[in-house]
Structure 1
Amino acid sequence: MTNQTGTRTTTGTLIVKGTVALIAALLLFAPFLFQDVRSLEVAARICIFIVLVASFDLLIGYTGIVSFAHTMFFGFGAYGAAILLKQMGPGWTPVLLGAVAGVAVSIVFAVAIGLLSLRVKAIFFAMITLAAASVVLVLASQLSHLTGGEDGITYKAPDLFKPATKLLTDADGKVLKVFGVRMNGKLAAYYFVFASCLVLFLVMLRFTVSPVGTVLKAIRENEARAEAIGYRVVAYRTFVFCLSAAIASLAGTVYAVWLKYTGPDTALSFAIMIDILLMVVIGGMGTMWGAVIGAVLLTLAQYYLRDLMGAASAALEGVPILPELTAPDRWLFWLGIIFILLVYFFPKGIAGTAMEKGARS
């Protein structure tokens, strides 16, 4: 029975990991598989949100910390790069300095919030982080001389990422095409996003199986017992809060370089926090693999569900009621229905439920 359980557990895990590997392969070759501009934007957003959701999963899934300030750290990284790129001009120096500044500010805020608040109960800590994020959002909107206010900041990315940059040329000096894809700066920008996000995700994945990651799981399961055997719970929680904040900040910097625009709606909006929460729940908390699945599913739904419903409405024309129910304007209604069904049939998220069923069956 032990062997059977072990085999099935491995099988369930392999299915999830195989799905994640397939997603990674699709993202790797996305510029060649999906050659329209919109698809490339979606692929880049998926890469960014995989890191953002995974870093949030370090808090809520592995440590049991509920925070609503994750977009605040994301915004610090994005605004750090955006402000310096605007003031210093395109180049790698402002990108690196912006990344360092964003991480530094994020860690300072994380330490302050962590040391002051992690001793209180979960709901009170969540409210404190929500208040902090709200204050930063208001400041970003009001400090228009620095942040651009509600209009945000538009700037230029490093020269390597300009669409006019020629990575490879043919004999005539024209941009070389490989499988119909132009080897230009836009392609370089996408692979900068993909490579950066891959490295950050692998770092988090390695952290979860480290001795510190094991302690965090023990704190999540039974905080009193972990403290009784000698672990400093507040110190560990503050550390993981800082790590999560730093990674979210770096994701913000990468997104700022890709988007070439940073504003409250793209970096600090509470809607982004809602998306992160939904992605974590859909994928599965405490699995890390769930971040990949949740980010992919919700992002694809946000970008393509409306189109699918438009096609369905047109196909059902002449049928009573159904064309109105499937009208593109009702895509949020159906997104909510899909989310409810996912939570009902996958109570621990898609990855979490699949791995648990493999262990128990």
Structure 2
Amino acid sequence: MHSSFSLKNLLSHDLPRSRWLALLLSLSVLGLALLPFIFPSTKALNVAAKVLVFIVLVASYDLLLGYTGIVSFAHTMFFGIGAYGIAIASSRMGAGWPALATGWAAGLALSLLLSLVIGLFSLRVKAIFFAMITLAVASAFLTLASQLSDFTGGEDGLNFKLPAALQASTEYLEEPLLGVTIDGRLLSYYLLFFAVLGLVLLLLRIVNSPFGRVLQAIRENEFRAEAIGYRTVVYRTLSNVLAALFASSAGALLAIWLRYAGPDTAMSFEIMLDILLIVVIGGMGTIYGAVLGSLVFVLAQNYLQDLLRLGEGALQGVPVLSQLVSPDRWLLWLGILFVLAVYHFPSGIVGRLRLAAALRAHQQTATSAEVSSS
């Protein structure tokens, strides 16, 4: 009883409400926590780190789109600001914890300022105009990042060194533990893991607070929320600011993991498209959707080519099929998987699982009522 109460508090009373969803989330968290010991390869660790970063990035965007109903294309700009904050501070100040702290704080401060300005000046206009304004601002920042070579490294980006404690050359145990070398790289991964865990729990707290309920009311009917007495512009602006701060933190985490920040890795429009796809796959208006959606998408993005390569080998000599399963056509198959996911899960993975659980509970209640009445 006490453990259940503690879990409710930890998840801000937003329980999965589906046994299958709870199982998938538990396996996802456990898998990411133990991955360095289960799959100790470099690629697996890089993929898991990308999943962790995207969980925060997508969840922060869902705060805008899923919970408030705001369509913004500037999210990757804040993501890039967080990454460049770490990279610029570390390359100028040298490898050290003060550089990481300064870069993170500078990225958050700039994201706060820009999101506040964009929110106050743009959220009064209609949704499509706001989306266009954010797209223009994001494009301008991408151009600046590519052209300010002395400051951002231009198209090549910035490489930097991490504190000695996070470097792969720093080993904490003389002998491997369960076949895994305990070094600075492993410490970096667990720094990412616990930072993401804390940020996701904080987001759950925000969306399940009275503030989060108002955001959902604005999403459902802005005029009604305004009529009740809520200043919708203020709430929408605060939602925009919070989403930007979380996106900036995700960018900082990405830079720490890659030890690099560049326009392609942090500010490209492709990342924005990935975010939109993951939000739809996981389910809008659910922080849990960001976890499952990121996991499915990043795994497909990184391992679909390997699966197709196996398929091509198995179907070698078959005229049409061997060409269809060529690794070069992985984007085609990724598109097909996305269409199938949207068709079969229109409300996302989380929405579908919760709906199935609710229908099952309703049927059980109806059956119990029939039995008791007879």
| Category of TM-score, reference length = shorter chain | over 0.9
The answer (yes or no) to whether the contact 1:12–1:357 under 8 Å persists in 2 is: no
The answer (yes or no) to whether the contact 1:11–1:358 under 8 Å persists in 2 is: no
Aligned partner letter, 1:282: I
Aligned partner letter, 1:85: S
The answer (yes or no) to whether the contact 2:308–2:330 under 8 Å persists in 1 is: yes
Aligned partners of 1:264 and 1:11: how far apart in 2? 37
Please name the residue that 2:150 is paired with: 145
The alignment status of 1:280 with 2:283, answered yes or no, reads no
Please name the residue that 1:35 is paired with: 40
Q: Secondary structure at the match of 1:178?
A: coil
- The CA deviation at 1:319 is 2.4
Q: Secondary structure at the match of 1:167?
A: coil
The 3 A distance-change label for structure 1 pair 292 and 11 is: closer
- The CA deviation at 1:12 is 5.0
Please name the residue that 1:200 is paired with: 199
Aligned partners of 2:16 and 2:64: how far apart in 1? 27
The alignment status of 1:248 with 2:247, answered yes or no, reads yes
Aligned partners of 1:65 and 1:250: how far apart in 2? 20
The alignment status of 1:119 with 2:120, answered yes or no, reads no
Aligned partner letter, 1:231: Y
The answer (yes or no) to whether the contact 2:77–2:138 under 8 Å persists in 1 is: yes
Please name the residue that 2:138 is paired with: 133
Aligned partners of 1:119 and 1:176: how far apart in 2? 60
- The CA deviation at 1:212 is 0.5
Q: Which consecutive residues of structure 1, in runs of 5 or more, have no partner in the other structure? A: 1-9, 169-174
- The CA deviation at 1:123 is 1.1
RMSD: 1.3
Please name the residue that 1:23 is paired with: 28
The alignment status of 1:46 with 2:45, answered yes or no, reads no
Please name the residue that 1:6 is paired with: none
How many residues align? The count is 347
Equivalence map 1:228-267=2 (5 Å): 228-267=227-266
**Match for residue 84 of structure 2 among 79, 82, 97:** 79
Aligned partners of 1:326 and 1:205: how far apart in 2? 40
Aligned partners of 1:248 and 1:61: how far apart in 2? 15
Q: Which consecutive residues of structure 2, in runs of 5 or more, have no partner in the other structure? A: 1-14, 361-374
TM-score (norm 1): 0.94
Aligned partners of 1:128 and 1:360: how far apart in 2? 42
Residue by residue over 1:281-320, the C-alpha shift from the partner in whole angstroms, topping out at 9 and shown as x without a partner, is 1000001110011101110011000010010011011323
Residue by residue over 1:39-85, the C-alpha shift from the partner in whole angstroms, topping out at 9 and shown as x without a partner, is 00000000000000000000000000001110000111100110010
The answer (yes or no) to whether the contact 2:94–2:161 under 8 Å persists in 1 is: yes
Please name the residue that 1:226 is paired with: 225
- The CA deviation at 1:358 is 2.5
- The CA deviation at 1:255 is 1.0
The more displaced of 254-263 and 311-320 is 311-320
Please name the residue that 1:344 is paired with: 343
Aligned partners of 1:55 and 1:109: how far apart in 2? 16
The answer (yes or no) to whether the contact 1:150–1:263 under 8 Å persists in 2 is: yes
Equivalence map 1:86-125=2 (5 Å): 86-125=91-130
Please name the residue that 1:64 is paired with: 69
- The CA deviation at 1:11 is 8.1
Please name the residue that 2:352 is paired with: 353
